[in-house]
Amino acid sequence: MPATNHFTSTSLDNNTSPTSTVSTSTVPTVSTLSSTTKIFPNTTVTGTIPSTTPRCPDSVYGDECIYGVNDTSPNIDPGTLPSRKVNVTLKIDITFVIAFENLNSPEAITFIKGLLSELEPLCFEADPSTFKKVKVVKLSSGSVIADTEVEYIYPNNQTQINFVNDHLDGVLTGILNDTTNLKKIASAVNATSAQLNNVTFQAPNITNITQLEPFINCSNFVDYTPELSNGQWECVGPCKTHPNYCNRHGDCYNNIYKGPICKCYSSSLEQYSGPQCDLFRYGPGFYGALFGSLAGALLLLIIIVIAVLVKKRHSGMWKRSNSYDRRLSAFEEDFFDFSHTGDHNLGFAGTYTPQGFRPHAENVAGVNTSSRGF
């Protein structure tokens, strides 16, 4: 919202004291400078004062005012647009002089000036947005018969075109036929009265807004093209007509001097470049994440391998220790069996009977086997 300046000025006269406030006004500004500043002797501006910072024209933005909005009004020269002409004839009760036959004579110029001073506002009132001009075509006798021609342009709007073609005649005729308005016209030329003789509308030149395309000019901004939107012509920027200009990898801007430009997306993981953001490369963050993941995976693999080796080694030692313990236990069971102490069997397990020692068969087989080994 624009800032506001509050100007308070003081002045002296015979009836006011030096401290009396005479007027206070509010002035809109774009940007302001604060503080109380002395501008003129005995005048103090309290609050803020305007800055000279320039503003961008309509439909243009940016720090340097070089970017255009997507939709903007076309540049149309009203002088080139087709118009609908209306012939209006008025009878004015005033003495006709021969000089009126020459519209450039001083008498005719004076009469026409007075007539148009009232006729133009009335014709304008019929349709202010399309009224172009009114001119006197001829002055002839019979009191004074004033033949005039009124022009209404065809605007850049289908609704208004329809109004000019279908409804303007009734509106204009009603205004010109109004008694009060006719009295104003007569008074302007010092006549006793005036009356409306005729209102004739010429055939329409334009019936559809598409017929105005040759008159639409979008050359103010580079690469803007005319398009129909909501019943009127607009100049559309290239970023809108080519929505994929930046390949969805950047923001498109309508540079009004060079055409569309792209500001490509860039992050630590992905980076796009090129005139239309069509070039791609991974950012440093991607490689950091990639190598970090690989390093983590490698470290995990090393930990798993070490854990497996340690477990296998521990399992092998346990098996060897367990086998040794079983062999030692069997040896002790056989060698140190003293369940029969009558005769000594030198450590061989067997049966002692009065007839003698009978070793177990498996022990005998073990001894024989062992003996063959020596």
| Residue 15 DSSP label | T
Per-residue model confidence as pLDDT tens digits over 76-113 = 888 888 999 999 999 999 999 999 999 999 999 999 99
| Of the candidates 212, 123, 109, the residue with the CA atom closest to the CA atom of residue 168 | 123
Do 260 and 163 fall into the same domain? no
* 228 vs 236: CA distance, rounded Å: 9
Quote the pLDDT of residue 324.
Answer: 56
Q: Do 51 and 143 lie in a common domain? A: no
Q: Are residues 250 and 266 in the same domain?
A: yes
Give domain status of residue 16, yes or no: yes
Cα distances from 20 to residues 9, 41, 281, in angstroms, run 9, 17, 72
Residues 125 and 188: their CA atoms lie apart, in Å, by 18
Q: Which residues are CB-contacts of 183 (< 8 A; sequence separation ≥ 6)?
A: 193, 194
Q: Comparing C-alpha atoms, which of 126, 118, 151 is closest to residue 137?
A: 151
Per DSSP bridges, beta strands 37-40 and 43-45 are: antiparallel
- Domain carrying residue 97: 83-201
Domain stops at, among 143, 175, 201: 201
Q: What's the number of domains the chain is made of? A: 5
pLDDT at position 326 is 61
Which pLDDT does position 107 carry in this prediction?
95
- pLDDT, mean of each 10-residue run, the chain (374 residues): 38 37 37 37 40 73 94 88 94 94 95 96 96 96 94 94 96 96 95 95 94 92 94 95 94 95 89 91 70 83 86 69 59 55 51 55 52 46
Tell me: do 236 and 345 sit in the same domain: no
Asked if residue 142 and residue 97 are part of one domain, the reply reads yes
Q: Which residues contact 263 (CB under 8 A, 6 or more apart)?
A: 250, 251, 253
pLDDT of 318 reads 57
Query: What pLDDT sits at residue 22?
Result: 34
141 C-beta neighbours (distance < 10 Å), count:
12
- Please tell me whether the overall predicted TM-score, pTM, comes out greater than 0.75 for this model: no
Establish if 258 belongs to a structural domain. yes
What would the pLDDT profile of 261-273 be if each residue is shown by its tens digit?
Answer: 999 998 877 889 9
